[in-house]
């Protein structure tokens, strides 16, 4: 790997800055003196590869340190100077800290029926009745199925639940 001189590194950094604000490779090449857009692309690529991307946990620690510093200054202004206008900033810092560390995660709720048992609904009752009827039909002879079907259609309330007209 070839050693990078300061001027080249600065030129590549500038190419990356231009690209970050939406400048096209042709224009970057023109402005920085690359022979064509592929030279500008290689410069941007080299700058990106040299960039250090901190892991999220490191960024979280750095952000927490910044929040601590800001919080300390705000608390000094409140306690030492009596600047109650800083309470708004105190609340904002604490809100940001809670977001950063997931302290305001939503609470889970579990819905139960009487005495902590399952919730009973009409739907459950209707479903059980229909399953029982299906089981009876499955075990019945053809004549019994016709009889069950005719009894079911006579007993069916208005509104027709089986989808036929």
The pLDDT tens digits along the chain (165 residues) read 567 889 999 999 999 999 999 999 999 999 999 999 999 999 999 999 888 777 888 888 989 999 999 999 999 999 999 999 999 999 999 999 999 988 887 777 778 877 888 777 788 788 888 888 888 878 777 777 677 667 654 444 444 444 444
78 and 87 Cβ atoms separated by less than 8 Å: yes
Residue 72 has what pLDDT? 96
pLDDT value of position 155: 45
**Residue 152, pLDDT score:** 56
Q: What is the predicted pLDDT for the residue at 2?
A: 65
pLDDT for the residue 39: 96
Give residue 17's pLDDT: 94
Q: Residues 6 or more apart from 63 whose CB is under 8 A from it?
A: 100
Question: How far is residue 33 from each of residues 4, 21, 37, 63, 116, measured CA to CA in Å?
Answer: 18, 19, 10, 39, 75
Give the pLDDT of residue 50: 86
Tokens of 137: 């039909």
What end-to-end distance do the CA atoms of the chain give, in Å? Answer: 80
Domain boundaries, the chain: 6-50, 56-101
Q: Which long-range contacts (CB under 8 A, 24 or more apart) does 99-104 make?
A: 100/60, 100/63, 100/64, 100/67, 101/60, 101/64
Token pair, residue 88, equals 């708004």
Q: What is the pLDDT of residue 16?
A: 94
**pLDDT of amino acid 121:** 76
């Amino acid at each position: 790997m070839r050693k990078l001189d300061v001027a080249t590194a600065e030129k590549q950094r500038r190419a990356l800055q231009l690209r970050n604000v939406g400048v096209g490779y042709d224009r970057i090449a023109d402005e920085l003196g690359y022979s064509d857009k592929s030279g500008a692309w290689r410069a941007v690529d080299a700058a990106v590869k040299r960039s250090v991307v901190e892991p999220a946990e490191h960024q979280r620690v750095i952000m927490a340190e910044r929040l601590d510093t800001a919080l300390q200054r705000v608390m000094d202004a409140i306690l030492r100077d009596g600047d109650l206008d800083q309470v708004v900033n105190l609340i904002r810092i604490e809100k940001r800290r809670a977001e950063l560390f997931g302290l305001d995660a939503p609470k889970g709720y579990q819905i139960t029926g009487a005495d902590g048992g399952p919730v009973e609904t009409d739907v459950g009752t209707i479903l059980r009745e229909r399953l029982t009827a299906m089981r009876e039909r499955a075990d019945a002879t053809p004549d019994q199925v016709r009889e069950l079907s005719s009894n079911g259609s006579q007993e069916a309330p208005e509104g027709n639940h089986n989808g036929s007209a």
